[in-house]
Structure 1
Amino acid sequence: MFRRLFPIFAILMVCGVQAQDFREQFNGFFKDKDTIGQQKTLREWEAKRKNDPELYVARFNYYFSNARQELLHLGNNPEGKEAFALQDSTGNTVSYLYQGDTSYDPKKLGSAMKTINEAIAKFPKRLDMRFGKTYALGELRDWKNFTDEIIATIDYSDKIKNQWLWRDGKPVDDPKNFMLGSIQGYFNQLYETEDDALLVNMRRISETVLKYYPDDVMNLSNLAILKLLDKDFDGALVLLLKAEKLAPDDTVIQNNIAMCYSEKGQYDKAIAYYEKMLPKSDEESKVRIQKRIEVLKQKK
């Protein structure tokens, strides 16, 4: 019996080594931007291990990176960009050559998205694949699909009880917090665009997180900030007071509560929250908080 099993085990070990060798080869060619080497490795990899999840990841990276096209512009001095100065025969600068907008080859981009969608469908617990797709959508500034993918990830996480896998099918350490921390980074990416049209995207993300994790302090704060931007001070206050109970020493939350009370004209309550912050603040912050307190006292 043991003699029958041993050759099968040996074959599995060889397949695993081959997969790692293919990945190392591909990563070397990828780092060197050797597309011919990448193509050759992908062909050999597919011939030997066509259902290897790491092959899907490599193929996606190949298509997406090669879809990217850097456009060069010729014109006046581009402020904030590195540029090559073009000079005439007398040494005077007459123009500048610099990198302009980035575009993507539609065919290669389509292949990249088809590949990662197939990968996620086949290996739905692979969080790295989902985040790889989300990263790509962010690079494309395709904020609708970017947001939809994040929400799909949150929904699926509840379905599998946060039992996420990463490269080589290894379990993610502390998967719930890792996932939520990464999603906070994507939320910040939307916020940093300073595009008011994307506030609804941010709201959808925070509301979805709170649907499954109602005590998540970060998203209670996120949603409260969005309500503050809409001047919904009562709605923001409900969320912030709940967040404060969960994180009583968080001065950012206390500052936002004080702001809500100040905007509502409840100056005594605002002052009380600012005073609560003083013992936990550094010297520079204490000066700023004290100034706010003085302004509010004058309004009473």
Structure 2
Amino acid sequence: MKKISVTIILILLSQIGFSQDYQSEFQKYCQTNDIINQLKVLTEWKTANPEDAELYTSYFNYYFNKSRQEGLAMTVEEPNGERLVLKDSLNQIKGYLGSRVYYDQAELKKGLNKIDEGIKLYPNRLDMRFGKIYALGQISDWDNFTSEIIKTVEYSSKNNNNWTWTNNEKQEDGREFFLSSIQDYQVQLYETGNDDLLVNMRDIANEILKYYPKHIESLSNLSVTYLLTGDYDKGLEPLLRAEKIDPKDYIVLSNIAQGYKLKGNKEKAIEYYEKTIEYGEERAKEFARQQIIELKK
């Protein structure tokens, strides 16, 4: 019996060793953009250990990187990076010629399918979920981006934020790390400047608040989606809830003041700017003082 146990242990150790070798070899070829040898390693890896979690993330990275294409394109909007300015005979700018990044949808779909398989087998692997969300953000597929975030938030209530990361290592401070990362995605939506995506932000914030009702950042996000559309009463409601959770949060207090200012209630706006001065850091205090001066004119 002891001999059998030792044999099993040796087999398991050898499998772990092979997995790590495949992983490091794949990463080596990634650094040189050698997609031929990347696929060769993945094919051998799949034969040796088809349900290795790192195999799924590596396949995803392979297809995602392969799908990324770059080429020249003419646009009327000024692109980032190097570009050629196109002018007419009157020296007026008529357009720009610059580099444009786009993604081959067929290759990208293969990657998304692989990471879906990985998530199904390893639902606690947060890097898999975040990798998929990142890819959807890169192609501006905001509906699926939002849907995946909501699925992940819902699952966080089931695994109690006991997340793992690369090589199935436990993610420390799971709850805090998870919520701060979701906040970054909310900021990503906001920074698109597309008002149509305020609904996406609202859906994510409401989903988070369903499981984390005291999450002040989500209460603030929810507020923003209403304040920016002129629905000031609905915008103030989550901020006032946030104030009850932390009466000294000067960012919340300043936002409440701004909400009342937009609504036209000068008295309440001044009251909350005064609270901001009481609890805020120096820059927030200075901003609040300037706002009070304006409101009292």
With normalisation by structure 2, the TM-score equals 0.89
8 Å CA contact 2:276, 2:284 repeated in 1: no
Aligned to 2:157: 158
Q: Say how many residue pairs are matched.
A: 288
Bigger shift: residues 151-160 or 197-206: 151-160
CA-to-partner distance for each residue in 1:191-230, whole Å, 9 max, x for gaps?
0000011111111000100011111111011101112112
Match of 2:222 in 1: 223
Query: Contact (CA 8 Å) 1:223, 1:236: kept in 2 or not?
Result: yes
Specify the alignment match of 1:52 in structure 2. Answer: 52
CA RMSD of aligned residues (A): 2.4
Offset of 1:251 from its aligned partner? 1.5
Matches within 5 A, 1:42-81: 42-73=42-73, 80-81=80-81
- AA paired with 1:212? Y
Instruction: Give distance in 1, aligned partners of 2:173 and 2:19.
Output: 27
Relative distance call for 1:198 and 1:75 in structure 2 (3 A) is closer
Partners of 1:219 and 1:114 lie apart in 2 by 30
Q: Is the 8 A contact 1:81 1:98 kept in 2?
A: no
Partner of 1:268: 267
Kept after mapping to 1: 8 A contact 2:236/2:256: yes
Is this contact kept in 2: 1:224–1:240, CA < 8 A? yes
- TM superposition shift of 1:59: 0.6
Give the unaligned 5+ runs of structure 2.
86-95
Match of 1:91 in 2: none
Deviation of residue 290 (structure 1)? Answer: 1.9
Instruction: Measure the CA separation in 2 of the matches of 1:4 and 1:284.
Output: 69
Query: Aligned residues: percent identity?
Result: 42
Amino acid across the alignment from 1:158 = S
Return the alpha-carbon distance in structure 2 between the equivalents of residues 75 and 296 of structure 1: 44
Matching residue of 2:37: 37
8 Å CA contact 1:134–1:149 kept in 2: the answer is yes
| Paired letter, 2:198 | L
- 1:88 corresponds to: none
In structure 2, the partner of 1:89 is none
Q: AA paired with 2:19?
A: A
Report if the CA contact (8 A) 2:60-2:115 is conserved: yes
In structure 2, distance between residues paired with 1:75 and 1:150:
32
**Cα distance change of structure 1 residues 98 and 20 upon mapping to structure 2, 3 Å threshold:** farther
**2:119 and 2:128 in contact (8 A); partners too:** yes
Residue 209 of structure 1 aligns to a residue in which SS? helix
Cα distance in 1 for partners of 2:99, 2:50 equals 38
* Structure 1 residues without counterparts, runs of 5 or longer: 86-96
Structure 2 letter corresponding to 1:178: F
- Indicate conservation of the 8 Å contact 1:125/1:164, yes or no: yes
Task: Give a deviation string over 1:69-111, Cα, whole Å, max 9, x none.
Answer: 10124899x66432589xxxxxxxxxxx965222222321221
Q: 1:249, CA displacement in angstroms?
A: 2.5
TM-score w.r.t. the length of structure 1 is 0.88
In structure 2, what residue type is equivalent to 1:241?
L
Q: Give the counterpart letter for 2:57 in structure 1.
A: V
Are the aligned partners of 1:70 and 1:99 in contact in 2 as well (CA < 8 Å)? Answer: no
Note if contact 1:23-1:54 (Cα within 8 Å) is conserved in structure 2.
yes
